[in-house]
A and B are shown apart, each in its own frame.
Chain A
Amino acid sequence: MDTFLQQLVNGLTAGSVYAVVALGYTMVYGIIQLINFAHGEVVMIGAMVAFTVINALAPGGLPPLVVVLVGTACAIPVCMLVGYSMERLAYRPLRGAPRLAPLITAIGVSILLQHLAMLVWSRNVLAFPQIIQNTTYTLAGASITSVQIAIIAVCIALMGGLALLVYRTQLGTAMRATAQNPHVAGLMGVDVNRVIAATFVIGAALGAVAGVLYGTYYGVAQYTMGSILGLKAFSAAVLGGIGNIPGAMLGGVLLGLVEALGAGYIGDLSDLCAYGWIADLMGEQCDGGHFILFGSNYQDVFAFLVLIVVLVFRPSGLLGERVGDRA
């Protein structure tokens, strides 16, 4: 039971970060049907900028919370600028081009950003300075740290804020209209180009915060961190139904939970010696020992396995609309 609760807490933390990153993918996809492969790199740049600022301010003796907030506040505009420029330079000229063309520019942008980051910050890992007093609380056998609580709280706030923006404001209405039909939205007086740019900028800002949270949780940031995080978040977005905002949130949290629980249990579940009849078959190999088929290093398999299984039964994701079969 302890393992279960503990992995639940860990999964929830990682999952809420995935959810926030997934929002960046899903918003862009919903509006222009583009897999923005470079979004993971935006998240990485957010983390790197914030870590640089935090490391510079850390010896100053300011309260840790202020340091982290200032770092995040510096990362957000940088990421927004990156998000805006990539939409403007690499994606906007390709609207109406064959579908795979913007995918390749997205890959190109991703390579560019990753290596620019390497140029600026070198290959070294940036560490999070020891400034936060990380208190650990025990909750029914599972421990949860104050950082974890903060991460989950910030993510919930971000998701709530985004939901308000999308469903309650004029910009949000314009975004939803553009997602449904850009041409008609344009006829109704929506400045489609501005709305799309705004979507990229908002997604990038969310990504910046997510980058800081992710980096803070694991204590390190590096120029390669964007790819695997982006991949997981993108899977989360697809899991929930890409283009669907609540779906991305659900998918992210679910992916985090599956991953954590999977990593926590797979070793025990695939221990052949734990099953009586197999243990008998294996004979002396099992005498008091273990024969573990899959260890926790298979953690990353779960995310993708669940994704595949879900998509086989629900081809448009958990909350995705069933699209009619048409060309």
Chain B
Amino acid sequence: MKFPAKVWIGTALVAATLIALPFALAYAGTAWVRIANFAILYILLALGLNIVVGFAGLLDLGYIAFYAVGAYAYALLASPHFDLHLPFWVILPIGAALAAFFGLLLGAPTLKLRGDYLAIVTLGFGEIVRIFLNNLSRPVNITNGPQGVAGIDPFRIDGFDFAQYQTLLGLQFSGPIKYYYLLLAVVIAVIVINLRLQNSRIGRAWEAIREDEIAASAMGINTRNVKLLAFAMGASFGGLAGGMFSAMQAFISPESFVLVESIMVVSMVVLGGMGNVWGVILGALLLSFVPEILRWTVEPLQDALFGRQLIDPEVIRMLIFGLALVLVMLFRPAGLLPSAVRKRELMGQAA
């Protein structure tokens, strides 16, 4: 394949922007770098869920459970809670594998379920995981219950600590900025994996199952294995994201893994355009940045207009958010950047 010069210049520009971004954000406040980091985590989650929902067409409303599994795996193996301090390159794969195992655990009994029945079972699964995390503090204290696990180790490579402030080459690197570059590297790898998956043998098998399971199995696709693979792969991305979340936050509790979070990730996937990697990324970026931008604008705006806080800013933020979900879907039912297949389907319907 030959790439024209335009593509190279475009890529170089995007790369330069992404590299410079954290410093620009740090100028506005370290909080914004953290927000960017969370946006990248959400991209990871949304891409993982996209494998299950977008590629294989299995609606999963309990996806956050895998995020929780990864996060708790990291927290328990690298914190004073059990006094274990394993290095992160050991734990992250463990977390991802454990999440994949949970994915299989959820996938295996639900292979026969279709559509909305699957949705409610996955939702129930997510709730069950959360309730266990909340209550596994008695009689043996495993998860420390609602108090959560604190003092989780940051990523550390031989003295290079991701949580510490550092000056390198005359540039000041704060903890969040270092995590930003790490997350960026991971997310680029995951994006490449996703793009490659989409057109691979497996990706096409998923698409075939999504469109018509019976026809797919008639074509010789082992639907059972391929579906389980979708669950396991999707879950392992969730587990990976969870581990990084744990390390970045240094504190986790079951509060972070509620149903609303699952719904949020599903919204990102659907809003951006199911099945289209770039659409999903756009959805994740929008849904993680828009509420934050609203958080920072609604309050001063009210002050300027009325001289006081007329309505709780948090409420306005959520109202606008809910309204945005409805409006985007009304005007672009296939998502902001629909996948090619969906576009074709909609065009076909209109004709």
Contacts of B159 in A (CB 8 A): none
> Does B299 lie at the interface of the complex (its beta carbon under 8 Å from any beta carbon of A)?
no
Asked whether B135 lies within 8 Å of A111 as measured between CB atoms, the reply is: no
Beyond A111-B321, A112-B322, A234-B120, whether A308 also contacts B109 by CB under 8 A is yes
Check if B330 sits within 8 Å of A90, measured CB to CB.
yes
Minimum C-beta distance from B167 to chain A (A): 44
**17 A–B contacts, CB within 8 A, in A order:** A98-B333, A100-B53, A100-B59, A101-B270, A107-B263, A107-B267, A108-B323, A111-B325, A112-B319, A116-B319, A119-B319, A294-B135, A297-B131, A305-B124, A311-B121, A312-B112, A327-B214
Q: Which A residues from 300 to 327 make CB contacts under 8 A with B?
A: 300-301, 303-305, 307-308, 311-312, 315-317, 323, 325-327
Chain A residues with CB under 8 Å of B109's CB are: 308, 312
Whether A291 contacts B139 by the Cβ 8 Å rule is yes
Q: Which residue of B lies closest to A292 (CB)?
A: B139
- Report whether over half of chain A's contact residues are helix, strand or loop; otherwise say mixed: helix
Asked if residues B121 and A307 are in contact (CB atoms below 8 Å), the reply is yes
Q: Which of A99, A238, A297, A298 contacts B117 (CB 8 A)?
A: A238
Write the chain B residue with the least CB distance to A304.
B124
Which of B116, B322, B330 makes the CB contact (< 8 A) with A111? B322
CB-CB < 8 A to B59: which residues of A? 100
Whether B329 lies near A300 (C-beta < 8 A) is: no
Query: Do residues A108 and B139 form an inter-chain contact, with CB atoms below 8 A?
Result: no
Question: Is A52 among interface residues, defined by CB-CB distance under 8 A?
Answer: no
How many residues on A have C-beta within 8 angstroms of the other chain's C-beta atoms?
A: 57
Give 10 nearest A-B pairs by CB, closest first.
A108-B325, A304-B124, A111-B322, A97-B333, A112-B322, A108-B326, A101-B333, A327-B212, A115-B318, A105-B329
- 8 Å CB contacts to A: which residues of B318-345? 318-319, 321-326, 329-330, 333-334, 342, 345
B15 CB-CB contact with A under 8 Å: no
Tell me if A93 is interfacial: C-beta within 8 Å of chain B: yes
B-side contacts of A234, CB under 8 Å: 120
Q: A94-B333, A311-B113 are in contact. Are A295 and B271 (CB under 8 A)?
A: no
Cα A234 to Cα B120 in complex, Å, equals 8
Contacts of B266 in A (CB 8 A): 104, 107
Q: With A29-B116, A108-B325, A327-B214 in contact, do A297 and B270 touch (Cβ < 8 Å)?
A: no
Tell which of A35, A97, A108, A116 touches B116, judged by Cβ atoms closer than 8 Å: A35
Residues of B within 8 A of A115 (CB): 315, 318-319, 322
